[in-house]
Amino acid sequence: MNFTKLNKLKAGDKVAILSPSFAAPGQWPHMYELGLMRLRDIFGLEPVEFPTTKKLGASKEERSADLIRAFEDASIKAVITSIGGDDQVTYVKDLPVALFKTHPKPFFGYSDNTHLANFLWLAGIPSYYGASLHTQFALNGCMNPFTVGYIKKALFESGEFELTSSEMFNDIGLDWNDSSNMAKELAYEKNDGWFWDGEGRVAGRTWGGCLESIDEMLRHGSRIPELSEFEDIVLFTETCEEISPASYVFRVYRALGERGILERVKAVLVGRPKSWEFDKQKNPDERKEYRKEQRETITQVVRMYNKTAPIVQNMDFGHTEPQIPLPYGGMVRIDSLSKKVFAEF
């Protein structure tokens, strides 16, 4: 697979703000405006709104049309999603592949946007798994400097950069329905760092995303990379705010194993699992145990099919804060000896 080398942005460039899944700007307009302000003030970019950006209940045809317009428009230099959702699997497969190949540009999004990132991957277009407007740019209080640094790499810089582990992390949110929370700082706690298993030095092109979305791809028979392509792939996954139990994670990973994927991949990278949500308010001990159980489950299943591939867990991507917009379809290099990971932005 030959991947397009995407152009980097510069100050003053226009970027599309789209809602390919749920229209969060229509639900929480105050958070939307905060995200737009930071996009301008911190990154020097000019956001452009599209017809369905704020339209709650927009049809899949309407959202498809916005994606097509944003990629066709030469004045738009990148596409940033407002948030995730749960239905991209129903329409991404019908998007015109040739059009996106003709007009490639950086795409930022995660969670349900896994489906569009996979669509772009299959078209040879890399993207960035992360940096949605409502969750990263409009973060309560202020944007996390760790996140800002990696977003700037994705937007403006080229080359291979070392990925590092954050010193602190948060996965306990504040209610967006209460606008007074906008100025409140999130409560951070000490990060445990990365957990390593396996050996060797390997490199490959990333593919993966939200495990719940990968499950959807497998259930619906969505097109994913060919088995032969997985021989050069570094698989990455993370779980969403549904707080899926370890038994669920086991089954999805086992499905990847039974399909012949796990035995072929170069390595496995895992984002720190979100362990708290408003309807699942676990206490600190329960959250720690949840992360540990998922970690051990993933290692167990991968080793059923692949005895040596490096596994690095508790990384800063996915449904966590701070967040690295991980290159999706970009090259990564894992060195188990020095315990370092590098990615090409």
In terms of Cα–Cα distance, which of 267, 203, 273, 200 is closest to 236?
A: 267
- Which residue's entry shows tokens 């570094």? 234
Q: Residue 12: its pLDDT value, please?
A: 98
Q: Residue 188: its pLDDT value, please?
A: 97
Give yes or no for residue 196 having a pLDDT over 80. Answer: yes
State how far the alpha carbon of 334 is from the alpha carbons of 264, 272, 314, in Å: 16, 18, 15
Averaged pLDDT for residues 89-97: 98
Give the three-class secondary structure for 234: strand
Q: Where are the alpha helices (DSSP H) in 42-81?
A: 60-72
Averaged pLDDT for residues 308-315: 98
Averaged pLDDT for residues 302-329: 98
Average pLDDT, the chain: 98
Averaged pLDDT for residues 64-92: 98
Query: Who contacts 326 (Cβ-Cβ below 8 Å, separation ≥6)?
Result: 128, 129, 130, 206, 236, 269, 317, 343
Give yes or no for residue 264 having a pLDDT over 80. Answer: yes
Helix pair 114-122, 211-220: axis angle to 10 deg: 60
The Cα 257–Cα 251 span in angstroms is: 10
Q: How confident is the model at residue 198 (pLDDT cuts 50, 70, 90)?
A: very high
Structural domains for the chain: 14-160 (3.40.50.10740), 162-344 (3.50.30.60)
Starting at the edge strand found earlier in the chain, the sheet holding 107-109 runs 46-49, 14-18, 76-81, 107-109, 127-129, 326-328
Q: Residue 292: its pLDDT value, please?
A: 98
Q: Residue 1: its pLDDT value, please?
A: 77
Give the three-class secondary structure for 127: strand
Helix pair 246-258, 284-305: axis angle to 10 deg: 20
Phi-psi region of 67 (alpha: psi -120 to 50; beta: other; left: phi over 0): alpha
For the chain, the farthest-separated pair of C-alpha atoms sits apart, in whole angstroms, at 52
Q: Give per-residue pLDDT as tens, 135-194.
A: 999 999 999 999 999 999 999 999 999 999 999 999 999 999 999 999 999 999 999 999
